[in-house]
Amino acid sequence: MNTSNNALTEAVYYILLALVEPLHGYGIMQQTARLSNGRLVISAGTLYGAISTLLEKGWIEQVANVADSRRKEYIITSAG
């Protein structure tokens, strides 16, 4: 687990809040907008860059989803 540079950006903070339940990318974008009362609108590029970083740090993990293997869902870990 990479623990360097643990400062949270606003986008990362809301992504982690959104992932208290398993969500896919579009669901994360919707939930972060809801949680921030529409103030934060995350683009797909920002989201997937953040997801990559959060996976690398071990702050989130991909949830095994047998029903639809194309749709990746994520959830926060205890480290996150």
Render pLDDT for 28-69 as a digit per residue (tens, 0 to 9). 999 999 999 999 999 999 999 999 999 999 999 999 876 666
Which pLDDT does position 14 carry in this prediction? 95
Query: pLDDT tens, 7-31?
Result: 788 999 999 999 999 999 999 999 9
The number of residues in the chain equals 80
Domain edges within the chain: 10-76
Four-point Cα dihedral 2, 7, 52, 41, nearest 10: 170
CATH of domain 10-76: 1.10.10.10
Query: Residue 80: what pLDDT?
Result: 82
Split at pLDDT 50, 70, 90, the class of 4 is: low
